[in-house]
Structure 1
Amino acid sequence: MFTLLHHPFCPHSRFIRLAFGEHGLDLRLVEERVWERREAFLALNPAGTTPVLTTAGFPPIPGAAIIAEYIDEAHGAALSDRRLLPSAMAERIEVRRLMAWFNEKFFEEASGPLVTERIYKRFMSDSNGGGAPAMDVIRAATVNVRYHLAYIGWLARTRNFLAGDRLTYADLVAAAHLSAIDYLGDVPWSEDDAAKAWYARIKSRPSFRPLLGEWLAGVPASRTYVDLDF
């Protein structure tokens, strides 16, 4: 049995949940509020970040990139030509490049600040960094979303999927980060039809249904979040 320590609105955790869904693997979810810095959690991942995967016979597997590599190495071959990390080296490089783009650059500039300011801070104590959202941070992140959306649109116009001809980890990671901030209504879909059409394809997949079914008490989802034909 796989167990994922995660937060429902952690974009990296959402990526791993999508990856498990595409592989058809069962996953037990345990919510972790990383700002509480529980000793038991820090023993699993001293970096204090989600997600962390645990499974019998292996040490804790921390971080979205490492978990994704583990899933591919252990279960990717079973997907055959639907493998989410392709076999060809050039294709693998491009998928990994885009994974890093969204898990690092997009997270730092857009999804991370928006989720922290608009969701996490609601549950943090003052000593943990809670309080009112920093509006200057939100404004800067919202502007950054537009630039990233334009890049996704360019990729979607020049390729069938973001990294090439078929679905890969690149699509799942980009969609995971977008989904977290789409819940908040922070994605200007009207600005790029190609990005919007691509995202509609990805979020229509069965692996996406558990994410779209999650709601945060006191924070209603945006109109576009669950609408597959938005």
Structure 2
Amino acid sequence: MRVLYHWPLDPGSRQARIALAETKLKFKLEPVNPWAPDATFASVCAEGVPPCLIDVISGGKVTISGARAICEYLAETSKKTSLLPDSATDRAEMRRLCDWMANKFTDDVQAYIMHERVEKTLLGNEAPHPPTLREGREHLQFHLDYFSWLLERRDYLAGHRFSLADIACFAHLSCLDFVGEIRWRDNPTLKDWYQKIKSRPSVQPLLGDRVGGMIPPRHYRDLDF
């Protein structure tokens, strides 16, 4: 059986899990501590960080590392669903937004908020730094406003159909939602989209994730919050 090495609150791992579920492929989850990967994981993943997919193909196995590579591989090989837009322009927009989440959003937001709220908590080496959190939250609102602006003009982030762009954005936002960092009532357009994605069967398993004793807010598992 194919295996996905992952960490529950890693946005990249969440993207891979959703994409695998969307393509209706069976897979086994193997958790990886991103700060102390074990020897087994190090032997199969040169990058040393999740996500990493071991897929079973004709004649053997293939190793694919990184959320973008895994998701596009699944989208290109799936015969049961399409996660890529039909037109070249929409596919370009999808890839632009995937890059936005992987680079700009990660640098502007996740490097501040998730580092302070999650990494420091789990490693127990120091308390969150309020000025850093404040700066990350200011950056976050800029991104939320931009996503809302896109969704006022489209059914989904990259156009009129669900795609890898929605998976990437949802994966990142759901991690922030896990730690209660998004004020949904202040972002109603984005909330409607988030609820729509949250209701997909492929996303349901993520809502049961728990990490290091951390408890998400009550609305996190609620589909109608």
Paired positions, count: 222
Q: Does 1:73 align with 2:76?
A: yes
Distance in 2, Cα, partners of 1:70 & 1:86: 15
SS, match of residue 116 in structure 1: helix
Shift of 1:87: 3.6
Give the corresponding residue for 1:117: 116
Tell me how large the CA RMSD over aligned residues is. 1.8
- Which deviations, in whole Å up to 9, do the C-alpha atoms of 1:102-139 show, x marking residues without a partner? 122112221343223222333337xxxx4322333222
Shift of 1:206: 0.9
Mark the CA change 1:7 to 1:112 in structure 2 (over 3 Å): closer, same or farther: farther
Deviation larger for 209-218 or 100-109? 209-218
Shift of 1:50: 1.4
Give the corresponding residue for 1:210: 205
Give the corresponding residue for 2:218: 223
Deviation larger for 22-31 or 34-43? 34-43
Distance in 1, Cα, partners of 2:218 & 2:122: 24
Mark the CA change 1:103 to 1:189 in structure 2 (over 3 Å): closer, same or farther: same
Higher-helix-fraction structure: 1
Give the corresponding residue for 1:13: 13
Deviation larger for 100-109 or 31-40? 31-40
User: Which residue identity lines up with residue 76 of structure 2 in the other structure?
Assistant: E
Q: Does 1:92 align with 2:87?
A: no
SS, match of residue 18 in structure 1: helix
SS, match of residue 225 in structure 1: helix
Structure 1 segments (4+ residues) deviating >4 Å: none
User: Which residue identity lines up with residue 141 of structure 2 in the other structure?
Assistant: R
Contact map agreement 1:185 1:224 (CA 8 A) in 2? no
Give the corresponding residue for 1:49: 49
Contact map agreement 1:146 1:188 (CA 8 A) in 2? no
User: Which residue identity lines up with residue 45 of structure 2 in the other structure?
Assistant: N
Shift of 1:161: 0.8
SS, match of residue 35 in structure 1: coil
User: Which residue identity lines up with residue 100 of structure 1 in the other structure?
Assistant: D
Distance in 2, Cα, partners of 1:187 & 1:227: 15
Distance in 1, Cα, partners of 2:37 & 2:25: 29
Gaps of 5+ in 1: none
Mark the CA change 1:49 to 1:217 in structure 2 (over 3 Å): closer, same or farther: closer
Shift of 1:37: 4.0
Contact map agreement 2:24 2:80 (CA 8 A) in 1? no
Give the corresponding residue for 2:64: 61
Distance in 2, Cα, partners of 1:138 & 1:86: 36
Q: In structure 1, which of residues 151, 154, 162 is the aligned counterpart of residue 157 of structure 2?
A: 162
Distance in 1, Cα, partners of 2:98 & 2:146: 14
Gaps of 5+ in 2: none
TM-score, normalized by length of structure 2?
Answer: 0.91
Deviation larger for 11-20 or 216-225? 216-225
Q: In structure 2, which of residues 173, 195, 200 is the aligned counterpart of residue 200 of structure 1?
A: 195
Contact map agreement 1:111 1:178 (CA 8 A) in 2? no
Give the corresponding residue for 1:25: 25
Give me the identity figure in percent: 36
Give the corresponding residue for 1:137: 132
